[in-house]
Structure 1
Amino acid sequence: MSTRYFTDREFGQRPAVSETIDDRVWGALHALIEMRVDSGAFGYRFTEQCADGDGPCGSDRRAFARFLEAEVPGIDWPLNSQEVPETPIALDLLEFCAKAVGEPVLGSYHSYQHHHHMSWDRAAGLAIFVADVNLLFQRNGIAFELDANGHAQRILPQPVVQTLGWAMFRTGDDQLDRLLEYARSHFLSPKLDDRRDAVEKLWDAFERVKTLEPGADKKVQADALLDRAAVSGSKMRVALGDEAKALTTIGNNLRIRHSEVSQEMIERSEQLDWLFVRMFSFVRLLLVSSGRSG
């Protein structure tokens, strides 16, 4: 059955631009989780045993609550539909639930205890849970989703998606490959601090790229690299030199590669997106021009 509503079909899906789970979405997530507690879906991981010793019969609510509070600090059980947690905490909660969920399969009915004995279809339960969460996010323009394994990830703006489409790193320098892959993978994180770390590693990769060409010192090496990207003396070569200087200045003045009190913190997600795309595109140009794109 299609999960697309009339407005999705007629006008397109709402842009995924919000990085905050608001009270409306939280209320629905709260209900979604409570429904699965009641149905016994979390018994896949937190299994309640029949008091008569006849096998599994649902979710062990006490075990669920104790593990939840220990694994996701910042969440108290029972959940409060009126108290919206910080978005990273809510995403941790969803990942916790995704690890525990399975679709209940009802077995024999135990009339004395008034319950069914159960088993769980893990794949079906996880897929349904992921689909339900992602529908709520999509309908409300939330820029996160759960992947098929139940891991939260950010939905990237289109310019970032296009930039990261070039994501295989075989530059011939193992350390540079590791820096680039770290930057790429961590920039997908829902957490802003992870993305700041990704930008830092990308600037570190830029500094390392400058030293890959032969030369007596870093400036000579950097100039040789730029000469491979554009003809020496051309307007494009001048523009690329100016861009390299500008990016170096940005890395020194903002809190990217250094943490002195004079450096300014990058506070907003869209600012990180802009910086990441700008630097990643420039590094890509240098690598492709020098035959290091893999």
Structure 2
Amino acid sequence: MNLYTERHGLRKPIARTSKISKEVYTLLLNICQKYYKNLTHIFKLQKHSSFVGQDYIEFNSSQFENRMAIKIPNIFRDEYGHLAAPKDNDEYDQYSLIDLIEYVAENIKDISEGWNNDRYKNYWYIHCLDTTSAFDDYRNEINEIFQESGLLFTLTHGKLIERIVENTPLSPAIETQVQQIAEYGTRELMKDAIALYKTPNPAAHQYSVEKIWDALERLKTYYTNLDKRDSATKVVNDMSNGKDDFIAIFDAEFRALTNLGNSFRIRHHETNKIDITDNRHYDYFFNRCLSLIALAIQYLK
């Protein structure tokens, strides 16, 4: 729902960011906590009502906390050791919260719950179902907070959080083309590069660039019946439709990207290589290399 100031253009555009503030952290954690009971099929606490002589189950919060201590050891906890939202000057690892969001998404299942007896209310029961309709509600709630807070993340249908990269040539159409690359090594390097590129943690973006440069080098040897030089020449000639002007353009771009890969700390890590210290530059390198590969793979035989 768009509020009045949004409908009438009276609100400043939301600043886009990859930083989860304490306030947004709290909102996201509250959504996770709301759906903890949907993990009861994993974390069951067996209970017995002696008054009516019936067994029932509850969500085992203690078992859940213990499991998270192993599964997501860096997630923020309060002084009592419970998962909590940071306050004031507390330091926190926002990517551990993303781990928690993904963990709930991956394991969420539907439940039915209620009082055993509407009149006497002896105990509150939870029945675990083998369906996952609750995931859609969970995903919508998480993504609503991402969108409203300007966070450049999205929880996908595949139950993974990916970063949203603005002004990128990467598209579903390109990802489909990558899946169709016949040569296994090139295809897998490209898939790895794209997956790392989408990862929220900036530390992965260096590896995404390394992988896509490896894919570029392997692409040059795509035609295994030819040596590397002739294979690379065929790739360029095919994507140029044999036209000299385009051959010159694409040959120069392949050479330029090869030189970048050799000069900067992308594929090689010797001390004489140029360090990339600004994460935004990784996006530039990735997208430049992707643009050339995305065109070339459309012409592969």
Is the Cα contact below 8 Å between 1:160 and 1:277 reproduced in 2? yes
1:96 matches 2:103? yes
Is the Cα contact below 8 Å between 2:143 and 2:154 reproduced in 1? yes
- In structure 2, do the counterparts of structure 1 residues 30 and 283 end up closer, same or farther at CA, with 3 Å as the change threshold? closer
Is the Cα contact below 8 Å between 2:264 and 2:275 reproduced in 1? yes
Q: SS of the counterpart of 1:48?
A: strand
Superposed, 1:218-237 pairs within 5 Å as: 218-230=228-240, 234-237=244-247
Unaligned runs of 5+ in 1: none
1:26 matches 2:30? no
Superposed, 1:167-246 pairs within 5 Å as: 167-169=176-178, 170-213=180-223, 218-230=228-240, 234-246=244-256
Q: SS of the counterpart of 2:48?
A: coil
Q: SS of the counterpart of 1:238?
A: helix
Superposed, 1:1-294 pairs within 5 Å as: 5=3, 17-37=16-36, 40-52=37-49, 54-75=54-75, 76=77, 77-81=81-85, 82=87, 83=90, 85-109=92-116, 115-120=123-128, 122-162=131-171, 165-169=174-178, 170-213=180-223, 218-230=228-240, 234-289=244-299, 291-292=300-301
Task: Give the Å deviation of 1:5.
Answer: 4.9
* Mean CA deviation greater in 276-285 or 40-49: 40-49
Structure 2 length-normalised TM: 0.79
Q: How many residues align?
A: 287
Task: Give the Å deviation of 1:212.
Answer: 3.3
- In structure 2, do the counterparts of structure 1 residues 7 and 203 end up closer, same or farther at CA, with 3 Å as the change threshold? farther
- In structure 2, do the counterparts of structure 1 residues 167 and 193 end up closer, same or farther at CA, with 3 Å as the change threshold? farther
Unaligned runs of 5+ in 2: none
Superposed CA RMSD: 3.3
- Could you tell me how far apart the structure 2 residues matched to 1:16 and 1:162 are? 23
- In structure 2, do the counterparts of structure 1 residues 13 and 145 end up closer, same or farther at CA, with 3 Å as the change threshold? farther
- In structure 2, do the counterparts of structure 1 residues 229 and 129 end up closer, same or farther at CA, with 3 Å as the change threshold? closer
Is the Cα contact below 8 Å between 2:29 and 2:97 reproduced in 1? no
Alignment deviations for residues 143-178 of structure 1 (CA, whole Å, 9 cap, x no partner):
112223532222232423348635333344222222
Alignment deviations for residues 183-203 of structure 1 (CA, whole Å, 9 cap, x no partner):
233322223333332322211
